[in-house]
Amino acid sequence: MKATIVTIGDEILIGQIVDSNSSYIAKALDKIGIATHEMLSISDDKEHILTTFQKLQNQVDVVLITGGLGPTKDDITKKTFCDYFNDSLIEDEKVLQHVKDIIEGFYKRPITQLNKDQALVPSKAKVLFNKMGTAPGMWMEHENTIFISMPGVPYEMKYLIDNEVIPNLVEKFERPFIVHQTIMTYGRGESLIAEEIEDWENNLPSFIKLAYLPSPGRVRLRLTARGNDEWVLKEAIKNQIISLTPLIEEIIVGFEEDDSIEVVLGRKLKEKGFTIATAESCTGGKIGQMLASIVGASSYFKGSLVTYATQSKIDVLGVSKEIIEKYSVVSEEVALEMVNKVKQIMGSDYAIATTGNAGPSKGDSEADLGVVYIAIATPNKVFVERFDFGQPREKVIDRAVNKAFELVYKEI
């Protein structure tokens, strides 16, 4: 079972937007054992779309297409479907009613012809009802390939994938098994890890593949086993994990796809009934946002005080003006003040504070670019560490955020 994902839109090819749809679709396919062969982004050009369909026809089992279904002139996917499959557009009553409900009922606007045209679909296509928007999805079977067209708006595409596309694919195909196991690590680089597990890696059976997925401050190791007997695959993976774990135990945070250090941190806080808060300067609120983004975060995440300007460190956190003047705003002393104050204001058990100079230019302080102080408060102690994260800005922020999680994690 092979699939190719196609995104249609000049806005992608000139770099105006990042294509996040393909990644969502690939993940959903992977879960049901359908391998994504390629992802492809092409232009809103009829000829380009047609030649792409021709190339993919009978080369893969499924082609999943997003984009070009909007109401405007540059949206030509539907017409191109008709040309390629030699079909014509007909009005779908259920979709038309749905469009009316959205435009007249929800947005309280008179319905336009462009709105009505959203209800036109190729006569041979199975309509995939789009509860989240006005553009329906389309399922077209042609020779040995299924062409599935979805809107490019992410939450509409996601609704169709979860509620229409995946269920239909599961029903239609017998699929081989793909078993993934992710090992989440933190605080050590991929080449060091590779050295430590070299012998183990060399002895992996041929049907199991290892991938290193590094991002600042963390490396995900991913084992992938392919075969026809799910039980055999799972056993094989389980045994590999048993032999791998002792080699890098001290840096493993978890074995779930979403066991990023902040998620595991959140879980530990929740288990123990502890709460956490942040006071952020150079990290601009990113530590808090990552904590807040976890489902159920409100049970342990009190909130964050993003004191961006120096003055707001004084006004909001109550850091003393004297300390800032004496030691500068990027200093051990200010970081400690920040963490103590936020812990007190938020009434949390743990707290994180950051102050640094992410660059690209020197801001309110004379600190070198890349220098960040991270202070941690726990129920029974407070400490601060100085880091030099180099440049560029985004790397400094990412590494500061991850280092902060790492420092707290060890304390819980």
Q: Does 155 bind a copy of itself (CB under 8 A)?
A: yes
Instruction: Mark residues 300-329: x for contact with a copy of itself by CB under 8 A, - for none.
Output: -xxxxxxxxx-xx--xx-------------
**CA separation, residue 253 to residues 218, 285, 412 (Å):** 10, 24, 13
Nearest to 341 by CA among 353, 332, 329: 353
CB of 86 to a copy of itself, least distance (A): 25
Q: Does 148 bind a copy of itself (CB under 8 A)?
A: no
d(CA 330, CA 386): 10
Which DSSP letter does residue 188 get? S
Q: Does 340 bind a copy of itself (CB under 8 A)?
A: no
CB of 95 to a copy of itself, least distance (A): 15
Residues numbered 64 to 83 that lie near a copy of itself (CB under 8 A) are 70-74
Q: Please tell me the count of residues contacting a copy of itself according to CB under 8 A.
A: 97
Q: Does 10 bind a copy of itself (CB under 8 A)?
A: yes
Closer residue to a copy of itself, CB minimum distance, 57 or 87: 57
d(CA 84, CA 364): 60
Under 8 Å between Cβ of 253 and 408: no
d(CA 214, CA 90): 49
Q: Does 412 bind a copy of itself (CB under 8 A)?
A: no
Q: Does 366 bind a copy of itself (CB under 8 A)?
A: no
CB of 122 to a copy of itself, least distance (A): 21
Structural element, H or E, at residue 137: strand 137-142
Task: Give the residue, chosen from 94, 293, 366, 410, that forms a contact with a copy of itself under the rule CB under 8 A.
Answer: 293
Under 8 Å between Cβ of 34 and 3: yes
Q: Does 286 bind a copy of itself (CB under 8 A)?
A: yes
Buried b (16+ CB within 10 A) or exposed e, 228-240: eeeeebeebbeeb
Region binding a copy of itself by CB under 8 A among candidate stretches 30-38, 80-88, 229-237, 330-338: 30-38
CB of 176 to a copy of itself, least distance (A): 14
What angle, rounded to 10 degrees, do the helices at 261-272 and 393-411 form?
Answer: 30
Q: Does 386 bind a copy of itself (CB under 8 A)?
A: no
Task: Give the residue, chosen from 1, 82, 210, 241, that forms a contact with a copy of itself under the rule CB under 8 A.
Answer: 210
d(CA 114, CA 11): 21
Under 8 Å between Cβ of 382 and 340: yes
Residues numbered 34 to 63 that lie near a copy of itself (CB under 8 A) are 35-44
Which pairing describes strands 120-122 and 177-186: parallel, antiparallel, or unpaired? Answer: unpaired
Residues numbered 102 to 141 that lie near a copy of itself (CB under 8 A) are 106-107, 109, 112, 114-115, 132
Q: Does 11 bind a copy of itself (CB under 8 A)?
A: yes
Task: Give the residue, chosen from 220, 341, 343, 403, that forms a contact with a copy of itself under the rule CB under 8 A.
Answer: 220
Closer residue to a copy of itself, CB minimum distance, 11 or 87: 11
Closer residue to a copy of itself, CB minimum distance, 87 or 159: 159
Under 8 Å between Cβ of 255 and 181: yes
d(CA 81, CA 103): 26
Closer residue to a copy of itself, CB minimum distance, 71 or 176: 71
Closer residue to a copy of itself, CB minimum distance, 123 or 258: 258
Q: Which string of DSSP letters, residue by residue, matches 322-364?
A: HHHHHH-SSSHHHHHHHHHHHHHHHT-SEEEEEEE---SS--S
Q: Does 195 bind a copy of itself (CB under 8 A)?
A: yes
CB of 375 to a copy of itself, least distance (A): 18
**Cα 33–36–40 angle (5° rounding)?**
160
Upstream peptide bond of 392 is cis (omega within 30 degrees of 0)? yes
Residues numbered 172 to 191 that lie near a copy of itself (CB under 8 A) are 180, 189-191
CB of 12 to a copy of itself, least distance (A): 7
Closer residue to a copy of itself, CB minimum distance, 159 or 186: 159
Region binding a copy of itself by CB under 8 A among candidate stretches 58-66, 235-243, 281-289, 323-331: 281-289
CB of 44 to a copy of itself, least distance (A): 7
Closer residue to a copy of itself, CB minimum distance, 35 or 141: 35
d(CA 58, CA 37): 13
d(CA 156, CA 151): 7
Q: Does 273 bind a copy of itself (CB under 8 A)?
A: no
